[in-house]
Amino acid sequence: MKEVEVSIGTLTISHQFMVVGMRNTCILGADFLKSGRMVVYIANSKLTWPSGEVALVIETTAPTVNKLSVLLDNYSDIFVSGPNDPLGRTTVAEHSIDTGDSRPVKQRPYRIPVHLNTVVNKQVNDMIERGVIRSSNSPWSSPIVLAPKKDGDYRFCVDFRRVNSVTKKDAHPMPRIDEILDQLGGARYFSTLDLTSGYWQVPLREEDMEKTAFSVGANHYEFTVMPFGLTNAPATFQRMMGNILM
């Protein structure tokens, strides 16, 4: 028998092992789990202990990695290489803003500090170049705000709360995280997808573009794609992803 230290995530425990001449992969048994007060959750593939947890995964083999690399190379045109690359535009969904017979919402712009004008103008120009916004003659107007980001930059936002208040709500359900985790039980391969400015890849219905209008200085603009901040945007996006992935 030999005392061996085993590290799993943030947990390190000492355990007695019998040294034998075998080349097969061993399974750590119930006595080992008990010594570390560990619990295996099969449904969501996790190993937990009082102070932490780790996901139970299988190391990907070299042949599998090579196959994935070839697959990614074959579809390299759908991936962006930089923050200002052209965005894709889905044909699976189109966002609409149903305001019924409501009169156009027109609000005065919020005050933007002078030292942030450069930030605003740069982001507006970037959105114009990417086809996200266009000049507008809309009777609608919502104020813009700049939300500070953790990296010191600012996120350009439009305050659509008044527009949302007159918008008919979409009741499309959001998925339950606990149910999704239950469905992962027994899964072997896991991957993540991150759409670059995902909302901006969803076209906006032509007749509703005027409802997203905002002003910057002496200029008036409107979105041509689904902007962030609209009450039904999450429902539209979730419905689209469900249709694509299911």
| Residue 27 counted as domain residue | yes
Q: Is residue 218 part of a domain?
A: yes
Does 85 fall in a domain? no
197 and 127 co-located in one domain: yes
Count of the separate structural domains present in the chain: 2
- Structure tokens given for 176: 């339950």
From the CA atom positions of the chain, what is the Rg in Å?
26
Domain end call among 73, 99, 127: 73
Q: Which residues contact 115 (CB under 8 A, 6 or more apart)?
A: none
Average pLDDT on 173-201 reads 82
- In this predicted structure, the answer to whether residue 181 has a pLDDT above a threshold of 80 is no
Indicate the residue among 73, 100, 131 that finishes a domain. 73
pLDDT of residue 184: 74
The tokens 């080349």 sit on which residue? 23
Both 62 and 123 in one domain: the answer is no
For position 119, which CATH number holds? 3.10.10.10
Q: Which of 50, 73, 96 is the last residue of a domain?
A: 73
Instruction: Work out the number of other CB atoms within 10 angstroms of the CB of residue 131.
Output: 13
User: What is the span of the domain harbouring residue 69?
Assistant: 1-73
Q: Are residues 53 and 143 in the same domain?
A: no
pLDDT at 57: 67
pTM above 0.75, yes or no: no
For residues 20 and 83, the model is more confident at: 20
Do 47 and 124 share a domain, yes or no? no
Write out pLDDT tens, residues 79-130: 877 767 778 899 999 999 999 999 999 999 999 999 999 999 999 999 999 9
Domain contains 158: yes
